[in-house]
């Protein structure tokens, strides 16, 4: 019963969903960047275990962290994925609306721009974002072809 809400006049529900998706962009970007730092660190870290411990009592515990752990458990280096993350439109609508309304949303805006940048090449954070989208929404991701870097 708590998974839905009547928000009021026509269009308000779509507006709330658009903002939800913008927040999702920012959260996923932060998770991807954090795990990229861990992945590239000098330490031999078990990233699935890190995600697991963060999801038990940490202030950043979330379903997205759980899904990151699931994805990293399947492929710790995400070597089977391309780091290309498509923008489905909602993030752009959020940014355009904020600009039109004079509201500053730098994290969501930069997260959208990072999705556009991901089209230029693979990063670990891009791979994790792609893996997260596959985990929670069944979104299609680009996989690496056999024998290619």
- pLDDT tens digits, 50-60: 999 999 989 99
* CATH class given for the domain over 12-137: mainly alpha
pLDDT bin (cut points 50, 70, 90) of residue 1 is confident
Closest CA relative to residue 27, chosen from 133, 143, 137: 133
pLDDT, position 139: 66
Segments making up each domain of the chain, as ranges: 12-137
Catalytic residue IDs:
17, 24
- pLDDT tens digits, 102-148: 999 999 999 999 999 888 878 888 888 888 888 887 766 777 666 55
Provide the greatest CA pair distance for the chain.
Answer: 54
- Partnered with residue 81 across adjacent β-strands are 143
- pLDDT tens digits, 27-54: 999 999 999 999 999 999 999 999 999 9
């Amino acid at each position: 019963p708590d998974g839905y809400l009547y928000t009021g006049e026509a269009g308000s529900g779509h507006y709330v969903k658009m903002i939800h998706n913008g927040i999702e962009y920012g959260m996923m970007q932060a998770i991807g960047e954090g795990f990229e730092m861990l992945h590239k660190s000098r330490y031999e870290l078990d990233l699935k275990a890190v995600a697991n411990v963060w999801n038990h009592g940490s202030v950043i515990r979330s379903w997205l962290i759980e899904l990151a752990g699931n994805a990293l458990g399947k492929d710790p280096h995400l070597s089977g994925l391309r780091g290309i993350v498509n923008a489905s439109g909602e993030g752009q609508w959020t940014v355009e609306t904020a600009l039109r309304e004079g509201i500053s949303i730098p994290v969501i805006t930069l997260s959208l721009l990072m999705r556009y940048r991901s089209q230029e090449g693979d990063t670990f954070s891009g791979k994790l974002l792609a893996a997260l989208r596959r985990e929670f929404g069944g979104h299609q991701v680009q996989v690496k072809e056999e024998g290619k870097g």
